């Protein structure tokens, strides 16, 4: 009888183990407000182009998920240390990040970066990065961790370090600093610049500078911590392929 109880107990533990593996719990999706890609809408839902693509992927892959909003500067640290199944959509892939995180297939391909300056800044609205960043004494502000791409990296590396100011502010904060005259120029994606120009009172006395020599935008991915099971990543990637993204 005791042997039968032992066998039943082992079978029960095996069933629990299988169920646990098959249903590891929801995927935690960390995001920060960066319209128009991902942000908290007025009704409290998570909205934006990249957020909506991510929802579509996970819904079609039948992967449950829970959104968690945190500041951008904390996301990578949280995912690196988190033992739960955690991801964050809309990140660029770099060799440094690949050391600590897993990446999905690309889900979105952005437009080229643009510059935003005050309206009275004496630069034409269509120029080149080479010309604009060779202006003597130009002061540039951009966000910590921003990926500018190899071409712009090369140009920016030639600018004196005291003219480049790296901040943790979100895009709206950078625009306010440009308006106030603290800096001459900031870099945004074309999507962000258009969003603020069309949807925000922030875009007063500002103008968008298109840089014709800057290559097209980089691809964006869903970045996940190493705890996310391979089977989940495979389901995500299979759905991305099926949806023919980006």
- pLDDT tens per residue across span 173-219: 999 999 999 999 999 999 999 999 998 788 999 999 999 999 987 89
pLDDT at residue number 216: 85
Mean pLDDT of the residues in the chain: 90
For the cut 60, the answer to whether the pLDDT of residue 73 exceeds it is yes
Spatial CB neighbours of 145, under 8 Å, sequence gap ≥ 6? 72, 73, 76
Contact 137/163 with Cβ under 8 angstroms?
yes
pLDDT at residue number 6: 52
Residue 205 CB neighbour total at 10 angstroms: 11
What whole-number distance in Å separates Cα of residue 204 and Cα of residue 178?
Answer: 10
Which residue in 165, 158, 156 sits closest to 211, CA to CA? 156
For the cut 60, the answer to whether the pLDDT of residue 12 exceeds it is no
Q: pLDDT band at 10, cuts 50/70/90?
A: very low
- Calculate the dihedral angle through the C-alpha atoms of 144, 149, 152, 155, rounding to the nearest 10 degrees: 90
pTM of the model: 0.85
What whole-number distance in Å separates Cα of residue 110 and Cα of residue 98?
Answer: 20
Contact 184/138 with Cβ under 8 angstroms?
yes
pLDDT at residue number 20: 41
Which residue in 58, 101, 105, 98 sits closest to 237, CA to CA? 105
């Amino acid at each position: 009888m005791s042997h039968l109880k032992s066998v039943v107990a082992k079978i029960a533990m095996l069933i629990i183990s299988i169920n646990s593996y098959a249903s590891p719990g929801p995927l935690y999706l960390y995001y920060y407000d960066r319209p128009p890609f991902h942000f908290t809408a007025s009704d409290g839902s998570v909205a934006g182009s990249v957020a909506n693509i991510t929802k579509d992927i996970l819904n079609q892959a039948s992967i449950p998920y829970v959104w968690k909003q945190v500041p951008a500067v904390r996301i990578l640290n949280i995912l690196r240390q988190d033992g739960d199944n955690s991801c964050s959509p809309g990140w660029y892939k770099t060799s440094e990040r690949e050391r600590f995180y897993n990446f999905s297939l690309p889900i979105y391909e952005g437009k080229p970066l643009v510059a935003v300056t005050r309206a009275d800044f004496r630069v034409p609205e269509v120029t080149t990065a080479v010309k604009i960043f060779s202006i003597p004494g130009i002061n540039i502000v951009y966000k910590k961790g921003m990926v500018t791409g190899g071409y712009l990296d090369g140009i920016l590396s030639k600018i004196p370090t005291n003219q480049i100011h790296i901040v943790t502010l979100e895009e709206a904060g950078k625009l306010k600093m440009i308006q106030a005259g603290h800096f001459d120029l900031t870099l945004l994606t074309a999507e962000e610049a258009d969003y603020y120009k069309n949807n925000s009172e922030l875009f007063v006395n500002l103008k968008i500078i298109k840089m014709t020599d800057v290559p097209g935008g980089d691809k964006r991915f869903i970045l996940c911590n190493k705890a996310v099971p391979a089977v989940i990543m495979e389901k995500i990637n299979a759905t991305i392929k099926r949806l023919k993204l980006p």
